[in-house]
Amino acid sequence: MSLMLRFVLAFIVLSSLLLKSFAKNCSSYSFSGNRTFALCRDLPQLSSQLHWNYEQATGKLDLACRHGRINSSIGNWFAWAINPNNNLQNSMIGAQALVAIWQSHGTTRVYTSPISGYDTSLAKGTIAYNVSGLSATHWGNEIIIFATLMLPSGTTTLVHLWQEGTLSDSMPEMHDMSSANLNAKERLDLVTGQALAV
Ligand SMILES: *[C@@H]1O[C@H](CO)[C@@H](O)[C@H](O)[C@H]1NC(C)=O
Ligand SMILES: *[C@@H]1O[C@H](CO)[C@@H](O)[C@H](O)[C@H]1NC(C)=O
Ligand SMILES: *[C@@H]1O[C@H](CO)[C@@H](O)[C@H](O)[C@H]1NC(C)=O
Ligand SMILES: *[C@@H]1O[C@H](CO)[C@@H](O)[C@H](O)[C@H]1NC(C)=O
């Protein structure tokens, strides 16, 4: 086999692996280390999935949010957030975010950020929920944020949002304003796993 052909075949296999990891079927995804989540959702925008376990009585939400659009040559930021005001229309204002940053020449950083305005630079800060086990893993063009959040006990639905963007000097830059970016939000029933109509 020619070197070129081998290269092309290897490339096809690699691309199909990368694409397959984001086939629109979150339930077929297995996390490493035997971590399992009872519910999952293929989010409608920006190649993302939410996987979670939820105890309604205590409000304990154990989650993993996967995102498959990291540009591995330059790095990106990815964030997943809850809007505690339940405001789907202006969900960004007041959002309580988990932010992950991956740079090609650095380690993965992950932290919490409360968002008070559209001019946010996603600075690190305390959010309105108790958070434990916050971590992020990166491989290829994928990043996964893991965390356990304590929601008000009895919570059933929440407005959640997710977003991606580029970096400048390792700091998050404003996200694009495409319809995919602007529609990366929904009202979610944590118990059934279904998104609700506005
Ligand atoms: C998704 O994956 C699960 C587990 O592999 C499988 O049982 C199910 O049939 C798949 N659903 C679709 C729509 O492909
Ligand atoms: C995952 O489960 C298998 C089979 O139950 C076990 O042998 C293995 O040690 C587990 N791995 C981790 C990281 O827990
Ligand atoms: C990654 O970033 C580089 C540099 O900005 C750009 O040329 C390239 O098109 C990007 N790749 C993707 C898949 O967006
Ligand atoms: C957060 O956790 C701490 C320590 O477990 C606890 O004392 C505190 O009441 C919790 N706060 C909220 C808002 O749940």
Query: Which atom of ligand 2 is the closest one to the Cα of 34?
Result: 1
Looking only at the bridges linking them, the beta strands covering 167-168 and 157-165 are unpaired
**For a pocket test of ligand 2, which of 32, 34, 35 has the largest count of ligand atoms closer than 8 A to its C-beta?**
34
pLDDT-derived band of residue 146, with 50, 70 and 90 as boundaries? Answer: very high
Contacts 24+ apart (CB under 8 A), 170-173: 170/101, 170/103, 170/106, 171/121, 172/77, 172/99, 172/101, 172/121, 172/122
Q: Under a CB-based contact definition with an 8 Å cutoff, are residues 98 and 80 in contact?
A: yes
- Which fold would CATH assign to domain 37-196? Immunoglobulin-like (2.60.40)
One-letter amino acid at 57 equals A
Domain ranges of the chain: 37-196
**For a pocket test of ligand 4, which of 130, 131, 150 has the largest count of ligand atoms closer than 8 A to its C-beta?**
130
CA of 31 to the centre of ligand 2 (A): 12
Q: Under a CB-based contact definition with an 8 Å cutoff, are residues 50 and 67 in contact?
A: no
- State pTM to two decimals: 0.86
What are 68-121's pLDDT values in tens digits? 999 988 999 999 999 999 999 999 999 999 999 999 877 899 999 999 999 999
pLDDT at 12: 45
